[in-house]
Structure 1
Amino acid sequence: MDDIVKQAMAKWPNVPDCYGWLGLDNRGNWYMRDDRAQTLGAFDSGQPGAKGSLLQHDKLIDFIGRNYSADVLGRWFFQNGPQRVYVELQAAPLVWRVQADHSVKDHIGRSAQIQSCWLDELGHLFLAADTGLGLVHTQDMSLAADAVVQGLWLPQDVSSQDLPGEFGFVKSPYLLQLK
């Protein structure tokens, strides 16, 4: 976490949390979800416009990445100064980029050690790692298939609905806080 963020948290300890305004899609892209986007439906609903606006500012994306983490309830968030901005997830909290040597980096660029491999009913490949669960990026499926063929990863079947409970993450902190 950035030092400036830690300082802001100490200076303003009681800033309310923010829900529904930031999303992470299946390709590791961040989306800002204004009021209009939120009224169009859930982030993962598939409704046109519900994802919001794709963030394209490199320094903002890097700042989010450096301050992206999970709380004890499995809700992933971006610590924006003193405010915790919970993230709506399309599929998983991380998106893996598979390297030529079959190592992986998440959508933020952090390396991880793979612990297990999972295939859901939709054909999505997930990797559980020491840093959390992530979806393999669609552009890296050829490299992932090589890892499976070589026996480096042994996919196990899993229901997409079971992933959050099985791996301890919350897809929609917004909906959870409404309960």
Structure 2
Amino acid sequence: MDDLVHAAMARWPDVPAAYGWLSLSRRGQWRLHPHGGGWGTDTPEPGESITSPQILGFIGRNYQTDDSGCWFFQNGPQRVYVRLDGAPWILHTQPGPDTQLQLGTHTGQAYGPPSHWWLTHSGLLYAQSAQGAGLVQDHDLAQLLDHLRLADGRTLGDSLDGLSADQHTMISLAGHDAPLGWLDDNAVADMLGFVRFPVF
């Protein structure tokens, strides 16, 4: 967290939190909801993409979670809670050491290593690590599936049709092994420990 943010929190400790103003899309885009209607209304605002590199950097450095699994951006003395359309972290692939593939987050941090992988019945791939839950961005999913390997050396991409939800499967990325499980799409947030829509 930025030093200026710590100082603002100490100076103004009782600023009410904001809800409905900020969301994170499934592709890792921060979206501003200028009338505070990002969620909790009958017609949620679609929001406007935030594109300023300075603002994106500021949000990324001051983005964190509370004890209940709600994620927020600490904007000076005020917590701005975030609607999570996918997961707290949106993951993309990037080259790592020795040309191995690794994961990075929408905020530009390295992610992992994952301690668990989860596939949903709609074809989404989630990871869990000490940083929290991450959703693999759709544009990078095919590349990652071709780098995740089963114990017999086959790629996960080549093996999906033969996998069943009741079998125990270990997969490896860049030498790190983790189990693969299956999730119902409606159970993702509860299972992975985050809140999609923080409440007032």
Q: 2:109 maps to which residue?
A: 110
Q: How many residues align?
A: 168
Q: 1:131 maps to which residue?
A: 131
Q: Does 1:122 find its partner at 2:122?
A: yes
Q: Which deviates further from its counterpart, 57-66 or 100-109?
A: 100-109
Which amino acid counterpart does residue 172 of structure 2 have in structure 1? L
Q: Does 1:71 find its partner at 2:62?
A: no
Query: Which structure's CA Rg is the greater one?
Result: 2
Residues 9-88 of structure 1: matches in 2 within 5 Å? 9-35=9-35, 37-38=37-38, 41-42=43-44, 50-88=45-83
Residues 79-98 of structure 1: matches in 2 within 5 Å? 79-98=74-93
Residues 143-158 of structure 1: matches in 2 within 5 Å? 143-148=143-148, 149=155, 151-152=171-172, 155-158=180-183
Q: Which deviates further from its counterpart, 154-163 or 7-16?
A: 154-163
Alpha-carbon shift at residue 165 of structure 1 (Å):
1.2
Aligned-residue sequence identity (percent) comes to: 36
Please give the per-residue CA displacement for 1:50-107, whole angstroms capped at 9, x wherever unaligned: 3211101110011000000000000000000000000001121110111232311111
Decide which structure has greater helix share.
Answer: 1
Q: TM-score by structure 2 length?
A: 0.79
Which amino acid counterpart does residue 172 of structure 1 have in structure 2? F
- Unaligned residue ranges in structure 2 (runs of 5+): 149-154, 157-170, 174-178
Alpha-carbon shift at residue 163 of structure 1 (Å):
1.4
How far, CA to CA, are the matches of 2:191 and 2:43 in structure 1? 26
- Unaligned residue ranges in structure 1 (runs of 5+): 43-49
Decide which structure has greater strand share.
Answer: 2
Contact 2:69/2:194, CA 8 A, preserved across alignment: yes
Q: 1:162 maps to which residue?
A: 187
Q: Secondary structure of the residue that 2:146 maps to in structure 1?
A: helix
Q: TM-score by structure 1 length?
A: 0.87
Which amino acid counterpart does residue 93 of structure 1 have in structure 2? P
Distance 1:17 1:93, change over 3 A: same
Please give the per-residue CA displacement for 1:17-57, whole angstroms capped at 9, x wherever unaligned: 00010000000000001227545634xxxxxxx32111011
Which amino acid counterpart does residue 191 of structure 2 have in structure 1? E
